[in-house]
Chain A
Amino acid sequence: MNSISGASSLHCITELDIKEKIKSIRRSVIEMIHNESGHLGSSLSCLEIITVLYFMKMRHNPKNPNWEERDYFILSKGHAAPALYAVLAEAGYFSKEELKSFRRLGSRLQGHPDLRLPGIEAPSGSLGQGLSIGVGLALGAHNHGRKSKVYVLMGDGECDEGQFWEALMTAAHLKLTNLILIIDRNGWQLDGRTEEIKKKVPLKAKIESFGWKVYTVDGHNVQKIIEVLNQAEDSREPVAIIAYTKKGYGISFLENTNRGHKIQLNDEEYLMALKEIEEGN
């Protein structure tokens, strides 16, 4: 899967492997949101995407997080931190035990990501900033002749921010081909349906008109995600992938609703969620 010496070999080879990883990561997220409140719905909509990136696509090394040639992942939608923290722990950046400290005083697992935690590449929490940071990282990597690719994961609500559109223009102008934007298109933002709060459609056509190559994908289908990520490698333009997802995916009483936007699962909900994960595929 990779021949670069600095990268670790934690990539999943089989579909069964990756499904086990997803199950385990989902379990970690549920435990965190039982322990402490957090943005569960939004973490579950992008969980497969982040997992596939870290376990099937990106060149990175948890034992050497600052390896210069690594690929970068930026979670622009910083409120989905539980998903990213669970993936990083699963990959070995820190112990799974530390996930219990999420949002607690003195923890490295802040409510929204910051650099004190190994594996976090950029601070986030204020929306609409991740793509600009990704442009800078991609530009820096390119200028220094590094092979690094930069993956930025945004929420669809974040598209309301003007800075996002500035960054789209910048990336296209600079013709960055080592930058891949993924939009978690779960259709919800804090106050309700994205199209009711502020209309985004036609999102694909808008981004294309800025000079980007845009793909769409089912954001919960592992096979399709890896296929589209592979396709993105060959583009001569910056690439955006609109991943259609469901907020709260995998938990029936939250799925495709806004109830899990920010929540703390009570004991009963926690056990129900765990049961569904164990029974799910």
Chain B
Amino acid sequence: MRAFLAEGLCKIGKLFENVVVLTGDVAKPTCTYLFQEKYPNRFFNLGIGEQDIIGVAAGLALSGDIPIVALFASFLMRAWEQIRNTVSRANLNVKLIGTHAGLTAAADGASHQALEDIALMRVLPKMTIIVPGDPQETIEAIEAMVRIKGPTYLRIGKDETTKLFEGEGVFKIGRAVTLKDGRDVALISTGTITSEALKAAKCSEVDASVIHVPTIKPLDRDAIISAAKSCGIIICIEEHSTMGGLGGAIAELLSSEYPVPIIRIGVQDSFGESGSYYELLRKFGLTAENIRLVMKEAIKRK
């Protein structure tokens, strides 16, 4: 995913002369060095100081630039208070990108695995949150976030190569995408883990719809409510804590608009640990195999 992040940044760098990219000693692992090679005067590696970087980005935004900050999601959250009090409060045009999110930092262990970043960003007023699911969507999401005004958090992983979409024009801020129709249960997911949901739905006797939600905020309310109405039970799947993320957002919405049972698959109030990416997905039930089991159990509740 990081390589596509760089591709998206270079594309937007060409379209907008006032786009500048900032990072903090992670130009290599975020692949933002590729933007640096193309636009050396619009790239700032400010060292290992996330809080300062957010302040500098705020200043650049106040001077009319469009700063894009790329850091590991886990350590970007170190500057949450700076994001709150300076960026979000003043509605500054700062674009935040958290990489190595979810469990993708795998063997590096819990310190590097961001499992609460969506929750932390969701509570900030004016913050748009995008979690793209495949390369094309990532590239389009980067352009889309630069085209809107205001703070944005874009969350990607590391080396995932899942492919959900063919062709172009796949992403629009605030729009969920139905990848498969079904009547028994609605699988709603975000990010690259949508590919596991799709796999689960394709080889199951349960007739499931699969809805990919690349924008967590603003949430596609109509798509979620309509899924609740047509299937009557929802399974949320995300590489994040089950609290405060996509599942939390959906539970908040449906509890008032159209209450149905909601089952949340994700990391249950715990930290991750070292392991291979796939081992970790299995441990936290984020594989097609486990999703299929949950689907079977779910329809018994209808």
A residues lining the B interface (CB < 8 Å): 68, 114-115, 121-123, 125-126, 129-141, 143-144, 162-163, 166-167, 169-170, 173-174
B85–A139 touching, CB < 8 Å: no
Q: Please, which residues of chain B bring their CB within 8 A of the CB of A68?
A: 64
B81 located at the interface, meaning its Cβ lies under 8 Å from any Cβ of chain A in the complex: yes
Q: How far is the CB of B18 from chain A (nearest CB, A)?
A: 9
Q: How far is the CB of A244 from chain B (nearest CB, A)?
A: 26
Is chain B's binding surface mostly helix, strand, loop or mixed? Answer: helix
B24-61 with Cβ < 8 A to chain A: 41-42, 44, 46-47, 49, 51-61
Is chain A's binding surface mostly helix, strand, loop or mixed? Answer: helix
In the complex, per-residue mask of B80-116: 1 if CB is within 8 Å of any chain A CB, else 0: 0110011001110000000000000000000000000
Q: Please, which residues of chain B bring their CB within 8 A of the CB of A166?
A: 47, 49, 51-52
Q: Nearest CB to that of B91 among chain A residues? A: A115
A135–B85 touching, CB < 8 Å: no
B203 located at the interface, meaning its Cβ lies under 8 Å from any Cβ of chain A in the complex: no
A170–B52 touching, CB < 8 Å: yes
A134 to B55, CA, bound (A): 8
A122–B59 touching, CB < 8 Å: yes
B41–A136 touching, CB < 8 Å: no
A169 to B52, CA, bound (A): 10
A131–B89 touching, CB < 8 Å: no
Partner of A122, one of B20, B52, B81, B90: B90
Q: Which of B20, B51, B57, B65 has the most CB of A within 10 A?
A: B51
Q: Please, which residues of chain B bring their CB within 8 A of the CB of A132?
A: 51-56, 58-59, 82
Partner of A167, one of B42, B55, B57, B65: B55
A185 to B198, CA, bound (A): 62
A169 to B57, CA, bound (A): 16
A175 to B61, CA, bound (A): 20
Partner of B86, one of A133, A167, A174: A133
Q: Please, which residues of chain B bring their CB within 8 A of the CB of A131?
A: 55
For B, the interface residue count at a CB cutoff of 8 angstroms equals 30
In the A-B complex, list the 5 residue pairs whose CB atoms are closest, starting with the nearest.
Answer: A136-B59, A132-B55, A140-B63, A166-B52, A166-B49
A143 to B85, CA, bound (A): 26
Given A122-B90, A123-B86, A143-B41: A129 and B63 interface contact (C-beta under 8 Å)? no
A73 to B63, CA, bound (A): 13
A141 to B41, CA, bound (A): 14
Q: Please, which residues of chain B bring their CB within 8 A of the CB of A123?
A: 85-86, 89-90
A220 to B111, CA, bound (A): 49
B62 located at the interface, meaning its Cβ lies under 8 Å from any Cβ of chain A in the complex: yes
A98 to B89, CA, bound (A): 22
19 more contacts with CB within 8 A, not counting A135-B52, A139-B59, A163-B52, are A114-B90, A122-B58, A122-B90, A126-B81, A132-B58, A133-B56, A133-B86, A134-B59, A135-B59, A136-B60, A136-B63, A137-B60, A137-B62, A139-B44, A139-B60, A144-B64, A163-B82, A169-B47, A169-B52
Q: Which of B47, B58, B59 has the most CB of A within 10 A?
A: B59
A44 to B148, CA, bound (A): 41
Sample 27 A-B pairs with CB under 8 A, ordered by A number.
A115-B90, A121-B62, A123-B86, A129-B55, A129-B82, A132-B56, A132-B59, A133-B55, A133-B62, A134-B59, A136-B56, A136-B59, A136-B63, A136-B67, A138-B59, A139-B56, A139-B59, A139-B63, A140-B65, A143-B20, A143-B42, A144-B64, A163-B49, A163-B52, A163-B82, A167-B52, A170-B47
Q: How far is the CB of B75 from chain A (nearest CB, A)?
A: 13
B55–A163 touching, CB < 8 Å: yes
Given A125-B85, A129-B85: A140 and B62 interface contact (C-beta under 8 Å)? yes
